[in-house]
Amino acid sequence: MIWLTILGMGVVTYGVRVLPFTFLREEMLPNWVRRGLNYVPVAVLSAIIAPEYLPSEKWGHFTLDAHLLAGIAAIVAARVTKNTILTIFVGVAVLLILR
């Protein structure tokens, strides 16, 4: 039964990834959707990042801790250096110092 569940999970996950590659044609999409796709990377990644810096388990209750300062430091580091390794280094260093 677990194997069947895994197989089902695999089918829906792969389906979601492969459908736009096989059946979708750009001309089929309305103009606003095509322009909207430009914002997908930035929007999705920002939506993943932000709650890591300012987590909230319950509605309206936010966990203000070292992660937020580490995140802000990383944002500044990314803006100034445009360097992935330095950004990681600054973020981790701030987290280690503060916690």
Partner 1 sequence: MSKWGLCWQGYRATTPLMVGVAPFGFVFGAIATGNGMSGAEAVGMSIIVLAGSSQFIAAQLLGDHTPALIIILTTFVVNLRHFLYSASLASFVRPLSKGWRALLAYMMVDEVYAIVITRHLKRDLTASELAWFFVGSGFCLISLWWTSTFVGVMIGNILPANTVDLLSFTLPLIFTAIVIPALKTRPMLFAALSAGITGIICAPMPNKLGLLVAAAVGIAAGLWSESQIAPTPSQEAA
Site residues, partner 1 (CB under 8 A): 1-10, 12-14, 16-22, 24-26, 29-32, 35-59, 62, 67, 70-71, 74-75, 78-79, 82-85, 87-88, 91-92, 95-96
d(CA 23, CA 4): 27
Hey, what amino acid is at 83? N
- Whole-number minimum distance, CB 53 to partner 1, in Å? 7
Shortest Å distance, C-beta 1 to partner 1: 7
In the complex, minimum distance from the CB of residue 65 to partner 1, in angstroms, rounded to a whole number: 12
Q: Which helix (H) or strand (E) holds 73?
A: helix 66-81
Kindly report the number of other CB atoms within 10 A of residue 73's CB atom. 19
